[in-house]
Amino acid sequence: MISENFMGWENPGSALITGSSSGIGAEFARQLAQQGFDLILVARRKGKLDALSKTLQEKYSINVEVLVADLSKISDNEQVISRINEINNLDILINNAGFGILDNFLQIERMKHVEMINVHFTSPVMLCHATIPGMTKRKRGVIINTSSIFAINKDSSIIMYTATKSAVAIFSELLKVKVKGTGIYIQALCPGFTYSEFHDTDTMSGFQRDWYQPEQWMKAEEVVSLSLDAVKSKSVIFIPGERNKESGMINRKKNLSKYLNCEWL
Ligand SMILES: NC(=O)c1ccc[n+]([C@@H]2O[C@H](COP(=O)([O-])OP(=O)(O)OC[C@H]3O[C@@H](n4cnc5c(N)ncnc54)[C@H](OP(=O)(O)O)[C@@H]3O)[C@@H](O)[C@H]2O)c1
């Protein structure tokens, strides 16, 4: 059954979600489908996207399109943009694709760093650039860029992850200033540890979930519903979960006060 959508819009349009073959992205797809949005699902694993597409079309009678793309490649991002340019009701863009690397900066090959920069930062920048003109014209839109709590609680043991997730959070904050008055809402979603496939990939090999207490983990369902509920809030940075929020806000204040004390300010 279709439920009321989180924006209270009468005619929900389409939502494009990157990284929707699993985890947080697949959950965004489920919750937005339930709210009556048509979907464009983007990721590399076609089988997973097709299976999710079939389930959601059958359950909610919405249209779901699958775009197979490797977002570390500029050419694949351009192909997604070609499709964006053809859609005349793109209400929601969720830049969510991402991956982690559990390794030392110098031990990781250079091109893997470039891949991470492209998936976490270049792709959201390109897709926002392509999407905002249409949303501005229609005077409505929501952009959620999935960052991470590590954008706030900086961790030098995962340099590129922290750097790219910080970049997308800052980009989102600055973009909000630019789109003021256009009817577009922007959020940088900063989850903490979330159950998904994130920690099962080759690049996270060796990671064990029980290194962290069960109460430090959240379910993707919770992260996504809190994120959608918070879209209209004033702050661009959104940290789901009280525990994450507590640690994040303390560190954000510390970081800000560090900058505020800078001599060059
Ligand atoms: N889980 C956590 O603890 C956590 C915490 C903070 C932030 N996050 C962020 O949340 C986002 C979603 O992650 P998740 O936790 O849901 O993990 P996940 O289940 O592993 O999902 C990651 C998604 O990104 C896609 N992806 C990865 N590389 C891609 C590429 N080169 N091109 C296109 N798509 C790509 C994957 O699809 P394919 O493999 O099919 O391409 C998958 O759909 C990520 O940005 C992650 O950094 C996660």
pLDDT above 90 coverage of the chain, percent: 88
Amino acid (1-letter code) at residue 243: R
- CA of 219 from ligand 1 middle (Å) equals 14
Name 231's Cβ contacts closer than 8 Å, sequence gap at least 6. 6, 7, 142, 144, 185, 187
At 259 the pLDDT is 44
> What residue owns the CA closest to ligand 1's atom 28?
98
Amino acid (1-letter code) at residue 238: F
Q: Average of pLDDT values for 51-76?
A: 98
Does 261 have pLDDT greater than 60?
no
- 12-21, 172-181, 248-257: range with lowest mean pLDDT: 248-257
Q: Taking Cα atoms as reference points, which of 162, 158, 160 lies closest to residue 147?
A: 162
At 88 the pLDDT is 96
At 263 the pLDDT is 36
> What residue owns the CA closest to ligand 1's atom 17?
198
Q: Is the CB of 194 under 6 A from ligand 1?
A: yes
Instruction: Delimit the domains of the chain by residue range.
Output: 14-260
DSSP secondary structure letters along 137-170: HHT-EEEEEE--GGGTS--GGGHHHHHHHHHHHH
Does 151 have pLDDT greater than 70?
yes
Q: Which two tokens stand for residue 257?
A: 């006060």
Does 262 have pLDDT greater than 50?
no
Summarised one tens digit per residue, pLDDT across range 107-133 is 999 999 999 999 999 999 999 999 999
Nearest atom within ligand 1 for CA of residue 100: 47
Please, what is the Cα angle at 69 between 90 and 237, to 5 degrees? 55
Summarised one tens digit per residue, pLDDT across range 187-226 is 999 999 999 999 999 999 999 999 999 999 999 999 999 9
DSSP-derived secondary structure letter, 234:
S
Amino acid (1-letter code) at residue 37: F
Name beta bridge partners: 16. Answer: 40, 93
At 155 the pLDDT is 86
pLDDT above 70 coverage of the chain, percent: 94
The CATH homologous superfamily to which domain 14-260 belongs is NAD(P)-binding Rossmann-like Domain (3.40.50.720)
Of 60, 161, 185, 259, which residue is the catalytic one? 161
Name 147's Cβ contacts closer than 8 Å, sequence gap at least 6. 165, 166, 168, 169, 172, 188, 189, 190, 237
pTM of the predicted model as reported, rounded to 2 decimal places: 0.95
What φ, ψ does residue 203 adopt, rounded to 5°? -75, -10
